[in-house]
Structures are given as C-alpha cells and as structure tokens.
Structure 1
C-alpha cells in the first residue's frame, strides 16, 4: 500500500505526521514499512532518527545537451522544439547555448538536430541515500543539488530506487500543489492531507483537496495544532463530506521536542493515542 503525506502549505506538521506514522505503522506491520522523503529541496525526515546507519548513498546525474558551434548551422530548429526556452540561438553572432537551469533533459533538441551538433553530458542532479533507523524497513531520502530546479526529475529517481516489496510505503511529499507534489502522490493508493485550523491552512487545504480530487485518489485530512485557531477548517470538512482522520492538539512542549529533533525519543501517551487512531484507520483501509 502506498500512502502519501501532503499539505497545501509548509509548517502544518507534515513531516511530524510522516515520521510518527512511520514509527507506529512499523509496529503494526512487523517493520515492513518504508519512509521515502520526497521533499528533495528540504529533506528533514532524517533529523529525527538519531544514530541511523547509512546503508547506501549514490549521486544521480541528468543528461544536459551542449552545442558544438563548429557543427551548428544556427537553424534554430532545436530552440523551436524546446518547450522550456532553454536554448538561445543568435545566427548573426554565431551564438548557440543551452541554459542548464531551464533544461529538463527531455532530449528533443538532440533528436531534432540534423547536423550532430548537440551532444548530451551528465550534470549532477542530486543524491539518493537509504538509512536504517533501527526499526521499520528503512528510510530513503532524496537531496537535490543546490541550485537545481529539477525537483520532479529527482523525485522520479527516488521513487524508482524504492523496494516495492514492503507492505507499506510512506511518501513524504513537498508542501504545496506544484509539479513535485503531483509526481510524489500520483500513484498513491491513499493520501493523508495535513492541515492546521488557520485561515492560511484552510485556503491551502482547499487547493490541495481540488488537486487530489482531480487525480481521483482517495484521501482524508488530519488536522494538526487544534486549539490554536478556529473551527472554519472543520466546518469546511463537514460541509464537503471529507473524512477527518484525526486531530493533533497544539502543544508547546510537543513543538519544543520537534525543534530539538527529539520527536521520537519520548512520545507521551496523549499523542500516542492520537496517532494510533489514525493508524487504525490506515489498517482498516489496508484490509479493504
């Protein structure tokens, strides 16, 4: 079963939920649960697994075209085919160049060139690492190369690297509703949306609900930091018949524990019960 944890905005507690679900689900599924951190620009899941052993780490590269101006006729066919406007051609100056920041490595330009003036060369995309935190099937993390804008491409590589024989795969998605989020959740069996009871939380939740409904994937909402805002989120969920998976109360002590990276070191009974409630719902879906 593939479960994605997503949120319309940053700061709602998506990482908190992802890490805790990994912890509690691992107990229920005999450690056959794997956590995949797809927030490749800011992968934070591993901050909470102290002493985790690194199993494997490898660099990932993406092919980027280069133009040989001694062969190029400056016909501009490659730039016309490029949907991302990554190629600049100035015939009068005999200038031809690829902007690596805009290139998406689709290969259209090299296929279009009839003069063999374009060749592809590997460019660092990021890194994929797998860890053993001492429980569960392990944690996989993608970390994007600084300055790269190809989050979606790295997320695809991260998902390809995952062992699909595990009982449950948890995908921690980036915040928002952009392409990296769509890539992360697109093949999920179920999506846990994390929100907070604030005007901003409700606004971005609505955007995320529209997205997952467009994708046609079943989902439910976990409301974090309850008691710190208003009831507008609950009114919206009730009005639109959206399943409320559970609530996590606002707590300064819990926030302090999170800020120190000690989320899993000492889970009190109150928060344990809240997550167990969500876990039982997930188990019920798994059985169905």
Structure 2
C-alpha cells in the first residue's frame, strides 16, 4: 500500500506524521519503506538517522541547438507547450528552467540541429533506518525542475508492501508528482483558518487525482472544531489527532519520535495503522 502524507501548506507536521507512521508500521512486523519526496528541504532523516548508501546523481535531458545547422523554421518552438524554446531570425534560444524534457523539439527538427544534454537536478540516496527502508532526494542548489527527481525517489522502492511517501507541501507540480500513483493520501492539517484553507486545496488535489484521502489533525486543541465541521461537510474521515502540547513540541524540535514519548500518541498511530489496514483489505 502506497500512502502519501501531504498537506496544503508547509509546517503542518506531515514529516512528523510520516516518520511516526513508518515506525509504527515497522513495529507491527510489516515491511515498510519511507521515501522523503520533499527534495527541496528533506528532513525525515533527522528523525530516523538512516544509514545511506552513496548519493547517485539524477539528471534529465534538455535540448541543445546547433545554430550552424538550424534554419530557424520555428517548428521546435511551435511544439513546445512550455515556451522553453524561442526561435529568432538568426538564433534559437533554449530556456532550461522551463523545459519539461518531453523530447518533442528534437523529434520534429527537420535539420537534426537539436541534440540532448544531461542536466543534473540533484541526487538520491537509498539506505535503511533499522528495519525501515529509506530513500532521500536532495535537489541541487538553484535548481527549479523538481518532479523528475521525485519520480526517481519513488522508483527506488523494491518489494516493500508498505510505502510511505513524505510529500512536499502545497499543491503544485512537486506535490502532484509525489501523490501520483498513491493508494491513499493522509492530509495533515491544523485547526487554524490558514490550515483549513490549505487543507481544502489539498483535498481538491487528491480528489482531482482520484486518490481517496483521510485527515490527520495535528496540534489539535480541545473545543476547537473547525476541522471536524469541514470534514463533516466534505465527507472526510478524521483518522488521527495529535494534541497541541509543549512536551510534544519539544520532542519534535529535538528530532525525537512522538510514539516513543507519549503513550496516547503511540496508541493514536496504532489506531491509524489499523484504519489503513482496513482500507487495504476493502480495496
């Protein structure tokens, strides 16, 4: 079962949920692999301290134009949906940051003036944290093309029946790539107006990708029911709650596991796992 842990905004606690869920799955005797897909700011390793193998560079092809061969017909620019090529009367320009590596430009070039060059996006490391398989992607500084690196992170998983995907925050292309192919999305939110607004965006993204989803309320405060009211309106299950306490905040800020620090939180994650096992059985 592939479970994407996502959120509409940063700072809601999705990595906290992802790592504590992975530990709970592993302690139940199940084989699990955690993928840190937040390649722009990966931090799951802080909590799990995995032993990682050598970092492997990840690249994507981009076009290189030989202006001596190019007749500036404009076919490459016409086929590009992302405006990554501009064909001028005497020169054809490539904008690598806009390129999605679709290969259309070099396939349609009548003069074979376009070749491919590898653009290094970042690196991926694979290892383990105890019995938990672990993959981490790290985007190269200054790089803007993220989805191919996330795709590579996800592709490293081999054979684990349970996969936890710690997705990047938000609802843009990186989050879409992380969620794509997931069996279920755990959407982490908090009982604030900003948290609720961005939860709604994440719900719309998951439903747009036809991925069933449930809610984990982090920093839950007794008597504050805005998350419950929203979930009732949207027919969404609240699968777990993590209370808002100073002690739990201190554990998280020190890189500790909540399931080791608080018995009630450990029980909540065990119940969350039971809910997910039930969903898998009914699928």
Query: Do both proteins adopt the same fold according to a TM-score greater than 0.5, normalized to the shorter chain?
Result: yes
SS of equivalent residue, structure 2 residue 277: helix
The count of corresponding residues between Structure 1 and Structure 2 is 282
Is 2:167 the counterpart of 1:173? yes
2:75 to 68, 74, 77: 77
How far did residue 202 of structure 1 move? 0.7
Distance 1:202 1:57 in 2: 37
Structure 2 contact 126–134 (Cα < 8 Å) conserved: yes
Match of 2:100 in 1: 104
- Structure 2: stretches of 5+ with no match in the other structure: none
Is 2:276 the counterpart of 1:282? yes
Structure 1 contact 220–243 (Cα < 8 Å) conserved: yes
SS of equivalent residue, structure 1 residue 147: coil
Equivalent residues in 2 for 1:230-245 (5 A)?
230-245=224-239
1:159 to 145, 154, 159: 154
Query: More deviation in 257-266 or 100-109?
Result: 257-266
Distance 1:265 1:81 in 2: 52
Match of 1:205 in 2: 199
Is 2:41 the counterpart of 1:45? no
Q: TM-score, normalised by structure 2?
A: 0.94
Structure 2 contact 220–243 (Cα < 8 Å) conserved: yes
Runs of 4+ in 1 over 4 A off after TM superposition: none
Deviations 1:198-246 (A, max 9, x none): 0011111111112222222221101110118932111111223211101
Distance 1:22 1:76 in 2: 51
Distance 1:228 1:147 in 2: 43
- Structure 1: stretches of 5+ with no match in the other structure: none
Query: More deviation in 33-42 or 276-285?
Result: 276-285
Match of 1:24 in 2: 24
Match of 1:6 in 2: 6
Structure 1 contact 64–122 (Cα < 8 Å) conserved: yes
Match of 1:246 in 2: 240
SS of equivalent residue, structure 2 residue 40: coil
Structure 2 contact 59–120 (Cα < 8 Å) conserved: yes
Distance 1:36 1:256 in 2: 25
Distance 2:7 2:259 in 1: 25
